[in-house]
Amino acid sequence: MTGHPGDASRLPPAIEATGLRRVYDLKPKPVVALESVDLEVAPGEFFGLLGPNGAGKTTLIKILTTLLLPSAGSARIFGFDVATETRRIRRIMNMVAGGEQSGYGILTVREQLWMFSQFYGLGTREGWRRVDGLIEAVGLDEQRLQRVSTLSTGQRQKMNMARGLLNDPWILFLDEPTLGLDVSAARGIREQVLAWKAEIPGRTVLLTTHYMAEADELCERIAIVDRGRILAIGSPAELKRRVQRDSIFRLEVDRLDGGPAALARLPGVVSAAFASNAAPDAQHVTVNLALREDAALGGVVTALAGMHSQIRSLGKSEPTLEDVFVKLVGRGLADAVDDSTPMPRSDADDDVAAAHAQAHDPETNG
Protein backbone atom coordinates (compact mmCIF):
# COMPACT_ATOMS: atom_id res chain seq x y z
CA MET A 1 0.00 0.00 0.00
CA THR A 2 1.50 3.30 -0.99
CA GLY A 3 0.44 6.76 -0.08
CA HIS A 4 1.30 10.35 -0.70
CA PRO A 5 1.09 13.07 1.84
CA GLY A 6 -1.42 15.52 0.53
CA ASP A 7 -3.51 13.00 -1.34
CA ALA A 8 -6.66 12.75 0.76
CA SER A 9 -9.03 12.03 -2.09
CA ARG A 10 -8.31 8.28 -2.10
CA LEU A 11 -9.32 7.94 1.55
CA PRO A 12 -12.74 6.68 2.63
CA PRO A 13 -15.09 9.29 4.09
CA ALA A 14 -13.92 10.60 7.43
CA ILE A 15 -17.48 10.23 8.71
CA GLU A 16 -20.26 8.27 7.12
CA ALA A 17 -23.52 7.95 9.03
CA THR A 18 -26.65 6.33 7.70
CA GLY A 19 -30.03 6.34 9.37
CA LEU A 20 -28.56 6.98 12.81
CA ARG A 21 -31.06 6.88 15.61
CA ARG A 22 -30.50 7.04 19.34
CA VAL A 23 -33.13 6.62 22.00
CA TYR A 24 -32.41 7.17 25.71
CA ASP A 25 -34.36 4.81 27.87
CA LEU A 26 -35.47 7.39 30.42
CA LYS A 27 -38.44 7.40 32.73
CA PRO A 28 -41.31 8.11 32.46
CA LYS A 29 -40.82 7.51 28.75
CA PRO A 30 -37.96 7.00 26.31
CA VAL A 31 -36.60 10.07 24.58
CA VAL A 32 -35.39 10.18 21.00
CA ALA A 33 -32.14 12.15 20.90
CA LEU A 34 -31.24 11.41 17.27
CA GLU A 35 -33.58 10.51 14.44
CA SER A 36 -32.64 9.35 10.92
CA VAL A 37 -29.33 11.16 10.72
CA ASP A 38 -27.51 10.78 7.42
CA LEU A 39 -24.17 12.47 7.17
CA GLU A 40 -20.99 12.28 5.12
CA VAL A 41 -17.88 14.26 5.93
CA ALA A 42 -14.94 14.15 3.55
CA PRO A 43 -11.36 13.61 4.72
CA GLY A 44 -9.75 16.95 5.42
CA GLU A 45 -13.01 18.75 5.93
CA PHE A 46 -13.77 21.14 8.78
CA PHE A 47 -17.36 20.28 9.53
CA GLY A 48 -19.67 21.96 12.00
CA LEU A 49 -22.77 20.86 13.85
CA LEU A 50 -24.82 23.86 14.81
CA GLY A 51 -27.74 23.64 17.15
CA PRO A 52 -29.11 24.53 20.57
CA ASN A 53 -28.58 22.55 23.75
CA GLY A 54 -30.38 19.26 23.52
CA ALA A 55 -30.35 19.25 19.72
CA GLY A 56 -28.49 15.94 19.55
CA LYS A 57 -25.01 17.25 18.72
CA THR A 58 -23.29 15.65 21.67
CA THR A 59 -25.14 12.39 21.25
CA LEU A 60 -23.92 12.28 17.65
CA ILE A 61 -20.34 12.99 18.77
CA LYS A 62 -20.52 10.29 21.41
CA ILE A 63 -21.65 7.75 18.86
CA LEU A 64 -18.91 8.77 16.44
CA THR A 65 -16.27 8.59 19.18
CA THR A 66 -17.40 5.04 20.08
CA LEU A 67 -18.65 6.03 23.53
CA LEU A 68 -22.27 5.35 22.71
CA LEU A 69 -23.99 2.79 20.53
CA PRO A 70 -26.65 3.88 18.08
CA SER A 71 -30.11 2.42 18.66
CA ALA A 72 -30.41 1.99 14.89
CA GLY A 73 -28.45 2.83 11.76
CA SER A 74 -24.70 2.73 11.26
CA ALA A 75 -21.70 5.03 11.29
CA ARG A 76 -18.15 4.67 10.06
CA ILE A 77 -15.01 6.67 10.76
CA PHE A 78 -12.54 6.40 7.87
CA GLY A 79 -14.26 3.15 6.98
CA PHE A 80 -14.25 1.67 10.51
CA ASP A 81 -17.57 0.75 12.08
CA VAL A 82 -18.23 2.63 15.34
CA ALA A 83 -20.04 -0.35 16.84
CA THR A 84 -17.53 -3.10 16.10
CA GLU A 85 -14.15 -1.53 15.30
CA THR A 86 -13.81 0.67 18.34
CA ARG A 87 -10.11 0.00 18.97
CA ARG A 88 -9.11 1.06 15.46
CA ILE A 89 -11.16 4.22 15.65
CA ARG A 90 -9.70 5.12 19.04
CA ARG A 91 -6.21 4.92 17.53
CA ILE A 92 -6.93 7.60 14.97
CA MET A 93 -9.19 10.01 16.77
CA ASN A 94 -9.24 12.31 19.75
CA MET A 95 -11.75 14.60 21.35
CA VAL A 96 -11.85 17.78 23.37
CA ALA A 97 -14.88 19.19 25.12
CA GLY A 98 -15.49 22.68 26.42
CA GLY A 99 -15.21 23.05 30.18
CA GLU A 100 -13.32 19.79 30.42
CA GLN A 101 -11.84 19.17 33.88
CA SER A 102 -9.98 15.99 33.10
CA GLY A 103 -6.70 14.91 34.63
CA TYR A 104 -5.18 15.36 38.05
CA GLY A 105 -4.67 18.72 39.70
CA ILE A 106 -1.60 17.58 41.54
CA LEU A 107 0.36 17.12 38.30
CA THR A 108 2.03 19.88 36.36
CA VAL A 109 0.83 20.69 32.85
CA ARG A 110 3.83 18.88 31.40
CA GLU A 111 3.31 15.80 33.54
CA GLN A 112 -0.40 15.62 32.85
CA LEU A 113 0.11 15.74 29.11
CA TRP A 114 2.85 13.13 29.32
CA MET A 115 0.50 10.84 31.25
CA PHE A 116 -2.10 11.11 28.51
CA SER A 117 0.57 10.54 25.85
CA GLN A 118 1.23 7.16 27.45
CA PHE A 119 -2.39 6.16 26.95
CA TYR A 120 -1.78 6.50 23.22
CA GLY A 121 1.40 4.45 23.34
CA LEU A 122 3.92 7.18 22.63
CA GLY A 123 7.43 6.20 23.72
CA THR A 124 8.62 7.76 26.96
CA ARG A 125 11.05 10.22 25.37
CA GLU A 126 8.89 10.68 22.30
CA GLY A 127 6.05 11.54 24.67
CA TRP A 128 8.05 14.21 26.49
CA ARG A 129 9.23 15.68 23.15
CA ARG A 130 5.70 15.78 21.80
CA VAL A 131 4.39 17.30 25.02
CA ASP A 132 7.04 20.04 24.98
CA GLY A 133 6.25 20.81 21.34
CA LEU A 134 2.54 21.06 22.01
CA ILE A 135 2.99 23.17 25.13
CA GLU A 136 4.93 25.64 23.02
CA ALA A 137 2.39 25.48 20.21
CA VAL A 138 -0.58 26.25 22.44
CA GLY A 139 1.26 29.03 24.27
CA LEU A 140 1.54 27.43 27.70
CA ASP A 141 5.30 27.83 28.03
CA GLU A 142 5.04 29.84 31.22
CA GLN A 143 2.66 27.33 32.78
CA ARG A 144 4.71 24.29 31.77
CA LEU A 145 5.66 23.46 35.36
CA GLN A 146 2.55 24.88 36.97
CA ARG A 147 0.11 22.54 38.68
CA VAL A 148 -3.03 21.83 36.69
CA SER A 149 -5.17 22.81 39.67
CA THR A 150 -3.88 26.38 39.46
CA LEU A 151 -4.64 27.00 35.77
CA SER A 152 -7.22 29.53 34.64
CA THR A 153 -10.16 28.37 32.50
CA GLY A 154 -8.48 29.53 29.30
CA GLN A 155 -5.14 27.96 30.17
CA ARG A 156 -6.86 24.74 31.09
CA GLN A 157 -8.63 24.62 27.75
CA LYS A 158 -5.35 25.23 25.94
CA MET A 159 -3.95 22.26 27.82
CA ASN A 160 -6.99 20.20 26.84
CA MET A 161 -6.40 21.13 23.22
CA ALA A 162 -2.80 19.99 23.52
CA ARG A 163 -4.08 16.72 24.96
CA GLY A 164 -6.38 16.30 22.01
CA LEU A 165 -3.48 16.60 19.60
CA LEU A 166 -1.06 14.30 21.42
CA ASN A 167 -1.66 11.32 19.17
CA ASP A 168 -1.78 13.29 15.89
CA PRO A 169 -5.37 12.21 15.34
CA TRP A 170 -6.78 11.86 11.87
CA ILE A 171 -10.08 13.12 13.13
CA LEU A 172 -10.58 15.53 16.00
CA PHE A 173 -13.96 15.92 17.67
CA LEU A 174 -14.45 19.29 19.31
CA ASP A 175 -17.52 19.63 21.47
CA GLU A 176 -18.09 23.31 22.24
CA PRO A 177 -14.32 23.85 22.64
CA THR A 178 -14.55 27.57 23.33
CA LEU A 179 -17.38 27.35 25.83
CA GLY A 180 -16.91 29.89 28.61
CA LEU A 181 -13.68 31.33 27.20
CA ASP A 182 -13.02 35.02 26.72
CA VAL A 183 -12.65 36.40 23.20
CA SER A 184 -8.89 36.21 23.15
CA ALA A 185 -8.66 32.66 24.51
CA ALA A 186 -11.37 31.48 22.11
CA ARG A 187 -9.51 33.02 19.19
CA GLY A 188 -6.32 31.30 20.32
CA ILE A 189 -8.05 27.91 20.34
CA ARG A 190 -9.54 28.48 16.89
CA GLU A 191 -6.20 29.53 15.40
CA GLN A 192 -4.52 26.55 16.95
CA VAL A 193 -7.00 24.08 15.49
CA LEU A 194 -6.75 25.65 12.06
CA ALA A 195 -2.95 25.56 12.15
CA TRP A 196 -2.90 21.93 13.23
CA LYS A 197 -5.39 20.92 10.55
CA ALA A 198 -3.47 22.70 7.82
CA GLU A 199 -0.29 20.71 8.54
CA ILE A 200 -1.46 17.49 6.93
CA PRO A 201 -4.19 17.06 4.31
CA GLY A 202 -6.77 14.57 5.44
CA ARG A 203 -6.92 15.78 9.02
CA THR A 204 -10.58 16.22 9.74
CA VAL A 205 -12.39 18.22 12.40
CA LEU A 206 -15.96 17.86 13.57
CA LEU A 207 -16.96 20.86 15.64
CA THR A 208 -20.14 21.30 17.61
CA THR A 209 -20.97 24.78 18.71
CA HIS A 210 -23.80 27.11 19.28
CA TYR A 211 -21.62 30.12 18.52
CA MET A 212 -22.76 31.06 15.03
CA ALA A 213 -19.73 33.26 14.31
CA GLU A 214 -17.38 30.47 15.26
CA ALA A 215 -19.10 28.04 12.92
CA ASP A 216 -19.10 30.64 10.17
CA GLU A 217 -15.40 31.35 10.59
CA LEU A 218 -14.12 27.80 10.87
CA CYS A 219 -16.37 25.41 9.05
CA GLU A 220 -16.31 24.51 5.39
CA ARG A 221 -19.71 22.89 5.78
CA ILE A 222 -22.29 23.05 8.51
CA ALA A 223 -25.21 20.89 9.51
CA ILE A 224 -27.99 22.61 11.39
CA VAL A 225 -29.40 20.24 13.96
CA ASP A 226 -32.49 20.50 16.08
CA ARG A 227 -34.44 17.95 18.10
CA GLY A 228 -32.29 15.12 16.86
CA ARG A 229 -32.65 15.84 13.16
CA ILE A 230 -30.39 17.45 10.60
CA LEU A 231 -32.42 20.25 9.08
CA ALA A 232 -29.91 21.46 6.50
CA ILE A 233 -26.34 20.88 5.38
CA GLY A 234 -24.20 23.19 3.32
CA SER A 235 -21.39 25.68 3.29
CA PRO A 236 -22.05 28.84 5.30
CA ALA A 237 -22.55 30.73 2.03
CA GLU A 238 -25.00 28.14 0.70
CA LEU A 239 -26.99 28.20 3.89
CA LYS A 240 -27.14 31.98 3.94
CA ARG A 241 -28.43 32.02 0.37
CA ARG A 242 -31.53 30.27 1.70
CA VAL A 243 -32.61 33.43 3.47
CA GLN A 244 -31.32 35.99 1.00
CA ARG A 245 -34.79 36.40 -0.42
CA ASP A 246 -35.92 37.72 2.93
CA SER A 247 -35.21 41.15 4.37
CA ILE A 248 -33.21 40.78 7.55
CA PHE A 249 -33.41 43.45 10.24
CA ARG A 250 -31.83 43.75 13.66
CA LEU A 251 -34.15 45.49 16.08
CA GLU A 252 -33.37 46.78 19.55
CA VAL A 253 -36.25 47.86 21.81
CA ASP A 254 -36.55 48.76 25.47
CA ARG A 255 -39.17 46.05 26.14
CA LEU A 256 -41.09 43.46 24.20
CA ASP A 257 -44.24 42.13 25.82
CA GLY A 258 -45.02 38.69 24.51
CA GLY A 259 -41.45 38.20 23.23
CA PRO A 260 -40.46 37.66 19.60
CA ALA A 261 -43.54 35.48 19.10
CA ALA A 262 -45.67 38.63 19.25
CA LEU A 263 -43.78 39.96 16.22
CA ALA A 264 -43.69 36.65 14.37
CA ARG A 265 -47.49 36.69 14.15
CA LEU A 266 -47.56 39.98 12.27
CA PRO A 267 -48.29 39.99 8.53
CA GLY A 268 -45.16 39.85 6.36
CA VAL A 269 -42.91 38.59 9.18
CA VAL A 270 -41.17 35.33 8.27
CA SER A 271 -39.49 34.86 11.65
CA ALA A 272 -38.52 36.74 14.78
CA ALA A 273 -36.12 35.57 17.46
CA PHE A 274 -33.90 36.92 20.19
CA ALA A 275 -30.36 37.53 18.95
CA SER A 276 -28.21 34.83 20.51
CA ASN A 277 -25.34 37.19 21.27
CA ALA A 278 -27.58 39.76 22.90
CA ALA A 279 -29.83 38.04 25.40
CA PRO A 280 -32.67 40.13 26.80
CA ASP A 281 -31.95 42.10 29.93
CA ALA A 282 -33.72 44.76 31.92
CA GLN A 283 -32.61 47.60 29.66
CA HIS A 284 -33.15 46.33 26.16
CA VAL A 285 -34.19 43.44 23.96
CA THR A 286 -32.50 42.57 20.67
CA VAL A 287 -34.44 40.69 18.05
CA ASN A 288 -33.52 39.39 14.60
CA LEU A 289 -36.39 39.89 12.18
CA ALA A 290 -36.84 38.26 8.81
CA LEU A 291 -39.47 39.95 6.62
CA ARG A 292 -40.89 38.89 3.29
CA GLU A 293 -40.22 42.40 2.01
CA ASP A 294 -39.06 45.71 3.42
CA ALA A 295 -42.60 47.08 3.27
CA ALA A 296 -43.62 44.78 6.11
CA LEU A 297 -41.47 46.88 8.44
CA GLY A 298 -44.15 49.54 8.73
CA GLY A 299 -46.55 47.05 10.30
CA VAL A 300 -43.87 45.97 12.77
CA VAL A 301 -43.14 49.56 13.85
CA THR A 302 -46.84 50.26 14.30
CA ALA A 303 -47.31 47.09 16.31
CA LEU A 304 -44.36 47.98 18.54
CA ALA A 305 -45.89 51.36 19.27
CA GLY A 306 -49.12 49.59 20.20
CA MET A 307 -47.16 47.40 22.61
CA HIS A 308 -45.51 50.47 24.19
CA SER A 309 -42.09 49.31 23.04
CA GLN A 310 -39.62 52.05 22.30
CA ILE A 311 -37.25 51.38 19.42
CA ARG A 312 -33.62 51.96 20.39
CA SER A 313 -32.12 50.98 17.06
CA LEU A 314 -33.18 49.36 13.83
CA GLY A 315 -30.92 48.34 10.97
CA LYS A 316 -30.96 46.14 7.92
CA SER A 317 -28.32 43.44 7.95
CA GLU A 318 -26.84 40.77 5.73
CA PRO A 319 -28.15 37.28 6.45
CA THR A 320 -26.18 35.38 9.07
CA LEU A 321 -26.16 31.76 10.08
CA GLU A 322 -28.41 32.77 12.93
CA ASP A 323 -31.03 33.93 10.43
CA VAL A 324 -30.71 30.60 8.65
CA PHE A 325 -31.11 28.83 11.96
CA VAL A 326 -34.20 30.84 12.89
CA LYS A 327 -35.78 30.20 9.53
CA LEU A 328 -35.13 26.47 9.69
CA VAL A 329 -35.84 25.88 13.36
CA GLY A 330 -38.54 28.46 13.87
CA ARG A 331 -36.80 30.03 16.85
CA GLY A 332 -33.44 31.53 17.76
CA LEU A 333 -30.69 29.86 19.72
CA ALA A 334 -31.48 32.14 22.63
CA ASP A 335 -35.09 30.89 22.60
CA ALA A 336 -34.22 27.26 22.04
CA VAL A 337 -34.80 24.43 24.47
CA ASP A 338 -32.44 24.68 27.39
CA ASP A 339 -32.02 22.30 30.22
CA SER A 340 -32.66 24.04 33.44
CA THR A 341 -32.88 20.86 35.45
CA PRO A 342 -31.06 21.11 38.79
CA MET A 343 -28.22 18.81 37.85
CA PRO A 344 -24.48 19.30 37.72
CA ARG A 345 -23.95 21.20 34.49
CA SER A 346 -21.86 19.67 31.82
CA ASP A 347 -22.20 20.59 28.24
CA ALA A 348 -21.38 17.05 27.32
CA ASP A 349 -24.51 16.00 29.15
CA ASP A 350 -26.75 18.45 27.37
CA ASP A 351 -28.53 16.05 25.07
CA VAL A 352 -29.47 13.66 27.81
CA ALA A 353 -30.21 16.39 30.33
CA ALA A 354 -32.43 18.16 27.83
CA ALA A 355 -34.01 14.86 26.92
CA HIS A 356 -34.48 14.19 30.61
CA ALA A 357 -36.14 17.57 31.05
CA GLN A 358 -38.31 16.88 28.04
CA ALA A 359 -39.34 13.51 29.45
CA HIS A 360 -40.41 15.14 32.71
CA ASP A 361 -42.14 18.03 31.05
CA PRO A 362 -45.87 17.63 31.78
CA GLU A 363 -46.67 19.23 28.44
CA THR A 364 -44.61 16.65 26.56
CA ASN A 365 -46.08 13.81 28.53
CA GLY A 366 -49.61 14.96 28.16
Partner 1 sequence: MSTAAVPNPPGGSLTPAQRRLAADPRITADWTRRQTAETNLRALVGRAYPRVRGMFREPSWVIFEILLPFLGTSAYVMVYRALKAPEEYVGFVVLGGALSAFWLNVVWSMAGQLYWEKSQGNLELYFAAPMSLMSVLLGMAAGGLAMSSTRAAAVLVISASVFGVQFDVQEWWLVGVVFLLTLTALYGLGMMMASLFLLWGREAWHLTNVMVEPVYFVSGLNFPVGRLGAIGVAAIATIPFAVGLDAMRQLAFPHSDLLVGTPPPGIEALILVAMTVVFTGASRWCMTTIERMARSRGSLSIRWQ
Site for partner 1 in 55-84 (CB under 8 A): 59, 62, 65-69, 78-80
Tell me how far apart the alpha carbons of residues 91 and 168 are, in angstroms, rounded to a whole number.
10
Distances in whole angstroms, Cα of residue 157 to Cα of each of 63, 251, 335: 23, 35, 28
Binder to partner 1 among 9, 19, 29, 124 (CB under 8 A)? 124
Q: Does residue 161 contact residue 99 with C-beta atoms inside 8 Å?
A: no
Name, in order, each residue with C-beta under 8 angstroms of 87's C-beta and a sequence gap of 6 or more.
Answer: none
Among residues 279 and 343, whose Cβ is nearest to partner 1? 343
Beta bridge partners of 76: 16, 81
Q: Tell me how far, at minimum, the Cβ of 349 lies from partner 1, in Å.
A: 6
Q: Does residue 248 contact residue 98 with C-beta atoms inside 8 Å?
A: no
359 binds partner 1 (CB under 8 A): no
Among residues 175 and 246, whose Cβ is nearest to partner 1? 175
Dihedral of CA 76/80/85/91: which sign?
negative
Tell me how far apart the alpha carbons of residues 258 and 308 are, in angstroms, rounded to a whole number.
12
Stretch touching partner 1 by CB under 8 A, among 118-126, 182-190, 246-254, 261-269? 118-126
DSSP 334: G
Binder to partner 1 among 115, 232, 307, 359 (CB under 8 A)? 115
Q: Which amino acid is at 2?
A: T
Site for partner 1, residues 31 to 50, rule: CB under 8 A: 43
Q: Tell me how far, at minimum, the Cβ of 132 lies from partner 1, in Å.
A: 9
Binder to partner 1 among 18, 21, 81, 88 (CB under 8 A)? 88
Stretch touching partner 1 by CB under 8 A, among 133-141, 151-159, 226-234, 296-304? 133-141
Q: Does residue 326 contact residue 333 with C-beta atoms inside 8 Å?
A: no
Binder to partner 1 among 39, 122, 275, 337 (CB under 8 A)? 122
Q: Tell me how far, at minimum, the Cβ of 75 lies from partner 1, in Å.
A: 13
Q: Does residue 148 contact residue 156 with C-beta atoms inside 8 Å?
A: yes
24 binds partner 1 (CB under 8 A): yes
Stretch touching partner 1 by CB under 8 A, among 112-120, 234-242, 248-256, 274-282? 112-120
Q: Does residue 204 contact residue 44 with C-beta atoms inside 8 Å?
A: yes
Q: Tell me how far, at minimum, the Cβ of 364 lies from partner 1, in Å.
A: 19
Q: Tell me how far, at minimum, the Cβ of 366 lies from partner 1, in Å.
A: 25
Binder to partner 1 among 102, 149, 152, 277 (CB under 8 A)? 102
Q: Does residue 253 contact residue 310 with C-beta atoms inside 8 Å?
A: yes
Stretch touching partner 1 by CB under 8 A, among 47-55, 94-102, 287-295, 357-365? 94-102
Site for partner 1, residues 277 to 336, rule: CB under 8 A: none
Name, in order, each residue with C-beta under 8 angstroms of 203's C-beta and a sequence gap of 6 or more.
Answer: 44, 169, 170, 171, 172, 196, 197
Beta bridge partners of 173: 95, 206
Tell me how far apart the alpha carbons of residues 318 and 329 are, in angstroms, rounded to a whole number.
19
Binder to partner 1 among 40, 81, 220, 349 (CB under 8 A)? 349
Q: Tell me how far, at minimum, the Cβ of 343 lies from partner 1, in Å.
A: 5
Residues that contact partner 1, how many (by CB under 8 A): 73
Q: Write the binding mask 148 to 187 for partner 1: x where contact by CB under 8 A, - elsewhere.
A: -----------------x-xx-xx----------------
191 binds partner 1 (CB under 8 A): no
The enclosing H or E element of 217 equals helix 212-218
100 binds partner 1 (CB under 8 A): yes
- Strands across the sheet with 15-24, in order? 31-41, 15-24, 72-77, 80-81
